[in-house]
A and B are shown apart, each in its own frame.
Chain A
Amino acid sequence: MPLINLPAFAPDLLEDFAGLGTERVDTPVIQPAEPFLDMAGEDLRRRIFMTESETGESLCLRPEFTIPVCLRHIESATGTPRRYAYLGEVFRQRREGGSEFYQAGIEDLGEGDVAGADARAVHDALKVLRNRLPGRALKVMLGDQSVFEAVVAACGLPAGWQKRLIHAFGNQDRLRSLLAELSEPVPKGVFGAEVERLAILGILDDEARLESHIDETMQATGYSTNASRSPAEIARRLREKMELASTRLDARTLATLRAFLSIELALADAPAALHDFARSQGLAIDDALSRFDARTRALADAGVDTASITYRSAFGRPLDYYTGLVFEITAGDDPAVLAGGGRFDRLMTLLGAKTRIPAVGFSLWLDRIEQAIAQTSEQTTAQGASA
């Protein structure tokens, strides 16, 4: 049965949001579909509800709040920092549960104190959940995209491999198969007959010559170069690919990456463990680690118990606008994610903001929270009956 009525705790939740100093915003249920497909990829099309305007513009029912809230901020051209809160219905086909459900959350835009804003997002999500689920043990899983990026960069891999690994972060299977590929002794690159011919002619060794060869071929075939990839881009990536094909990970680097990806421990112990790891593997990742330390301290300062948060190095979200912190909150042993969030410093510019606006936020799954509340009261009733 899909949720069509506001959950009973919604007014209390909004009161919490107001108490946290946020500004409540609403966005239209009917949204232009392009930004969602552009940010999340074409696969989202199967899961959102799309229609067309009379003039042929693609529209959809709001599948989430982050993009509409950010777009609204850009359009209204208000200054930063701003902390927006939202609560409303979203529409998305899910494997489990109905396809219309309520979400609420906070988006924190333009706060320059990154560590403080990160800590506040985790703190606020925990606080509003604890107010709904008093007495339930909440579990936080925390990851950090920027630490992984720093480790990959410090391993000294070619740019092409770094990009592939970073792009796969958050997708365990993909990351595993990339690492396996990197450790294979046989080069895997596939090159066409034309590339073989250019290699024999010696054109591949000289990037400028390669570029002008590509340019001439494009002109001769009437290919519209301004519309897509330029000769320079193709030449550069061809040379990058040759480098990719000839690079194999030595056993030590592979072991370093695997060791990093298996780190999982209490956040309170994570800074020391990461510094030890970097020192023992000889990785220069001080900048990323000092940001990690600052966030961990800010969390402790905000009164969050960092011993109750689990840091997992491989935990991430496979969307290319997440840039740092990611986290999810569950209750007890139930795997249902009640809150999820993270830092997305690239999103605002991708959506058309003129200046770089750092951003962090989280959203709450109100239907799952409602179920968790129901479970809690069942348990209480059962305990009361047996007593």
Chain B
Amino acid sequence: MTVTIALPSKGRMKEDASEIFRRAGFGIVSVGNDRSYRGRVEGRDDIEIAFLSASEISREIGNGTVDFGVTGEDLVREGLAQADERVEFCARLGFGHADVVVAVPEIWLDVETMADLGDVAADFRARHGRRLTIATKYWRLTQQFFSGNHGIQLYRIVESLGATEGAPASGSADIIVDITSTGSTLRANNLKILSDGIIVRSEACLVRARKAGHDDDPVVGEIIAAVRGTL
């Protein structure tokens, strides 16, 4: 059986992922030219590389169309329901650090915790005639965190596909759930992260699709061991 590994198709993530695999003893080369979306491992006919966008990688692992992928934990947890049943996080790779956080306007001096936010949300309808709105592209993570972890039900999600951090200032939402690595964009937009508002501390991970055939496949175990060995 051929084992397929999905790697990020461009940018810093592509370089960092390739470097990890090189150190693990798998030299990755593109098939054809540099921009090709297919690759292989030098000297290994039993491993294939697919270069995909980060969000496609989480979807393909979820479908089981690839065996491994390198992508952010945030994308896997957002993209797949019951992620831990469907995939295994084999190794945290130490790059692509970013947190998915709950951020509110800095000027909300009375809101520092999720409990504060719960109080504000409970009252919002009576004061403003509408629910508290959250701009985010992380529907699933937001719902799990607010409803599941903090018992907050009374809010509405406003889908945001870009420049989420601008939503509170423009008035299109009250607060946001977004990804941040240094927090500088949030600060520049006068937003603050709640003290218990970190939903996922994400980084690039080696993720395996849980597939029945993997138990008997020595290559699968070899890849996991080799990648872990570099860390």
Contact = CB atoms under 8 A, between A and B. Distances in A.
Interface in A76-114: none
Interface stretch (A6-14, A145-153, A219-227): A219-227
Nearest to A191: B112
Interface residues on A, range: 35 or more
A378 to B, nearest CB: 37
B48 interface: no
Given A221-B190, A226-B171, A190 B122 contact: no
Contacts of B147: 41-43
Contacts of B170: 224, 227
B110 to A, nearest CB: 4
Contacts of A234: 107-110
Contacts of B12: none
A238 B153 contact: no
Interface string A172-194: 00100000000000000011101
A41 B153 contact: yes
Interface stretch (A21-29, A63-71, A159-167, A364-372): A159-167
A164 B116 CA distance: 10
From A191, A194, A229, A234, residue with most partner B Cβ within 10 Å: A229
A191 B115 CA distance: 12
Contact of A237 (B107, B110, B154): B110
26 contacts: A37-B156, A41-B153, A42-B142, A42-B147, A42-B157, A43-B147, A43-B153, A45-B139, A160-B119, A163-B122, A164-B118, A167-B122, A168-B151, A171-B151, A190-B112, A190-B116, A192-B192, A198-B109, A217-B107, A221-B107, A221-B169, A229-B120, A234-B109, A237-B120, A238-B109, A238-B110
Given A228-B128, A241-B116, 8 more contacts: A37-B156, A41-B147, A42-B143, A221-B106, A223-B168, A237-B120, A238-B109, A320-B122
Interface of A: 37-38, 40-43, 45-46, 160, 163-164, 167-168, 171, 174, 190-192, 194-195, 198, 214, 217-218, 221-224, 226-229, 233-234, 237-238, 240-241, 318, 320, 350
